[in-house]
A = this chain, B = another copy of it.
Amino acid sequence: MKKIVVAGEILVEIMADTAGNGFRAPLALTGPYPSGAPAIFIDQVARMGQPCGIISMVGNDDFGRMNTERLAADGVDISAICIDHERPTGSAFVRYRADGSRDFVFNIRHSACGTLPKSDTVDALLASAHHLHVMGSSLSSPEIIAFNIDAARAICAKGGTVSFDPNLRKEILDAPGMGEAMQAILSATDIFLPSGDEITLLTKAKDEAGAVAELLARGIRAIVHKQGSTGVAYHDAAGRRFVPAFKVQEVDPTGAGDCFGGAFTALWLRGEDIDRALTLAAAAGALAVTERGPMEGAATLDNIRAFAASQGRFV
A interface with B by C-beta (< 8 Å):
14, 22-33, 59, 61-63, 65-66, 69, 86-89, 91, 103, 105-107, 109-111, 293
Contact = CB atoms under 8 A, between A and B. Distances in A.
A286 B59 CA distance: 36
Given A24-B66, A91-B107, A110-B111, 14 more contacts: A14-B29, A24-B62, A24-B65, A26-B30, A26-B31, A27-B31, A27-B32, A29-B29, A29-B31, A61-B105, A61-B106, A86-B110, A107-B111, A110-B110
Given A61-B105, A88-B105, A25 B66 contact: yes
**How many identical subunits does the complex contain?**
2
A16 to B, nearest CB: 10
Interface of A, helix, strand, loop or mixed by DSSP: mixed
22 contacts: A14-B14, A14-B29, A22-B62, A23-B62, A23-B63, A24-B65, A26-B31, A26-B32, A26-B33, A27-B30, A27-B31, A27-B32, A28-B30, A61-B105, A63-B105, A87-B110, A88-B105, A88-B106, A88-B110, A89-B105, A107-B107, A110-B111
Closest 3 CB pairs of A and B: A23-B62, A29-B29, A88-B107
A30 B105 CA distance: 15
B32 A23 contact: yes
Contacts of A25: 66
A69 B24 CA distance: 9
Contacts of A69: 24
Contact of A23 (B66, B87, B105, B109): B66
A62 B110 contact: no
Contact of A105 (B33, B62, B110): B62
A239 B92 CA distance: 53
A62 B87 CA distance: 21
A59 B93 CA distance: 14
B28 A28 contact: yes
A120 to B, nearest CB: 26
Contacts of A31: 26-27, 29
Contacts of A107: 88, 91, 107, 111
Nearest to A32: B23
A90 to B, nearest CB: 9
Contacts of A61: 23, 105-106
A170 B60 CA distance: 21
A6 to B, nearest CB: 23
A160 to B, nearest CB: 35
By CB atoms of chain B within 10 A, which of A23, A28, A111 has the most?
A: A23
